[in-house]
Chains A and B, each alone.
Chain A
Amino acid sequence: MRRLSLTFLLALITLGIFAQDDLMNIVNQSTPNEINYTTATFKSTRVMNGHSIERMQTGQLDVRISHRFETLNSGGYNFFGLDISYIHLGLEYGITNWLMIGVGRTEIDKTFDGFAKFSILRQSTGAKEMPVSVSAVTSVALKTLKFPDQNPTNYFTSRLAYVAQILVARKISEGFSVQLTPSYVHRNLVATELDPNDIFALGAGARLKLSKRVSLNGEYYYIANPKTYLSQQVYNPLSVGFDIETGGHVFQLFFTNSRGAIEKQFIGETTGSWKKGDIHFGFNISRVFTLKKHLKSSNY
């Protein structure tokens, strides 16, 4: 009997000691193993010139103002390019958590553009393991510059160019993300027979966080078409710069050999060369407005 009460006592003590651990076990077992989606692979919806896999969240409006100045080698008279600027204005909106759309206008060839970006896969850990994020971008550009020659019949379709891109990105670590962007550009009308209507390119982008709010970004597009036999010499666009975020704004400051800010232009029409010093200073300003709030109820 004494042994029994001893056992009883021992059991009670044991339970007493493990009570809090017991609660911990219950909590740990009940904490859902959720899908842990990777966030902020890139800070903005653009790596520099080109799209990143990031999208606008549902109900968020991004107002984008992009400038590309003239080349640094245009000399002191032009204040190293800052006297002349090419502006792209954009309004972009997240419709659902997998679709964003945008419209824009740039003064180069008086071009209007529109795009849709689809989030197909999202990098995640936890309940679902996904090594990469994949998005698709499709865009169309409408050149509204008057045709130089009014004599032949000019078709509306001649003003159009289309772009399709697959974006594959991975946030390798907290501070380092990479992206590959196979791209296809189709121009309905090109300057001469020498110029291809179809351009194939492979883009590569990377982001290295220097601090919590500043990152070093680089972006390069390798154009697979031969570039020397065209009506004008084109180059692979390379951009290097910084993302700086301050609350609701993201500033992207960079140097690039491309004048155009939209895919059709920087993939197909980059005539500047880094080697020759045709380097444009450029910046994107992104300001996000919340049009649709996420929290439905308020407990306060």
Chain B
Amino acid sequence: MKRLFLLAFFLNIVFAVNGQKYMTKNGFIGFYSHTPMEDIKADNNQVVGVLDISTGEMVFQALIKSFHFDRALMEEHFNENYMESEKFPKSLFKGKITNLASVDFSKTGTYDVTVEGDLTIRDVTNKISTKGTIEVVNGGINANSKFNIVPEDYKITIPGVVRDKFDKSMAVTVTMKYTPIANK
């Protein structure tokens, strides 16, 4: 009985883990806002992302200081004045693919998905829902999405002097190239 229980337990873990979770440590999140004066654009290539294909759940975590800009001064302002990255060093997305059934993870191809979840920036959490694609490739899964967020939703205050330099919203691009996790 005991042996059976142990067997079942381990089988369960192996089943739940093996080939079900995918991750990346070099995910890309970038944002962009076009303005007449100058474009505001930053890239982060060190986003950690995990995708569980059995449940469709996904989590991304980005360090704010890993967003890099063309202009060093803009990067300093981003960290010090807008994001306050000393106080809020991380940004997190926890979400779920809502139409998981339409993705066949065993067949290579590109599938349209809808992702819903909670985006936390500066300790402010908002629900977001966005369209994206899941691309099943040999040896991994790529996830892509583009959506807009409004800085003011995350209590990012933009002073009046430069407010007209910003679009109302920022275009965010997410590109994840996941590979399977062997253990864990």
Listed in ascending order, the chain A residues whose CB lies under 8 Å from chain B are 3-4, 7-8, 11-12, 15, 19-20, 22-24, 26-28, 30-32, 34, 36-40, 57-60, 94, 174, 212-213, 246-248, 288, 290, 293-295, 297-300
Contact = CB atoms under 8 A, between A and B. Distances in A.
Contacts of B55: 19
A31 B48 contact: yes
Nearest to A15: B16
Given A295-B68, A300-B30, 4 more contacts: A8-B12, A11-B8, A20-B94, A290-B70
Given A4-B1, A295-B69, A23 B57 contact: yes
Interface of B: 1, 4-5, 8-9, 12-13, 16, 21, 23, 25, 28, 30, 32, 41, 43, 46, 48-50, 52, 55, 57-61, 63, 65-66, 68-73, 75-77, 79-81, 84, 86-87, 89-90, 94, 159, 161-162, 173, 175, 181, 184
A294 B68 contact: yes
A299 B173 contact: yes
A24 B184 CA distance: 12
Nearest to B28: A299
Would you list the 5 A-B pairs with minimal beta carbon distance, nearest first? Answer: A57-B72, A23-B59, A293-B70, A23-B50, A290-B71
B12 A213 contact: no
Contacts of A24: 59, 94
Contacts of B1: 3-4
Say what secondary structure dominates the interface of chain A.
mixed
23 contacts: A4-B5, A7-B5, A7-B8, A15-B13, A15-B16, A20-B94, A23-B94, A24-B59, A26-B23, A27-B50, A34-B63, A39-B80, A57-B73, A60-B73, A94-B72, A212-B80, A246-B161, A290-B73, A293-B70, A295-B68, A295-B70, A300-B30, A300-B32
Contacts of B41: 295, 298, 300
Residue of B75, B86, B184 with most partner-chain A CB within 10 A: B86
A27 B16 contact: no
Contacts of B84: 174
B5 to A, nearest CB: 5
B52 A295 contact: no
B56 to A, nearest CB: 10
B21 A4 contact: no
Contact of A32 (B9, B46, B161, B173): B46
Nearest to B71: A290
B61 A20 contact: no
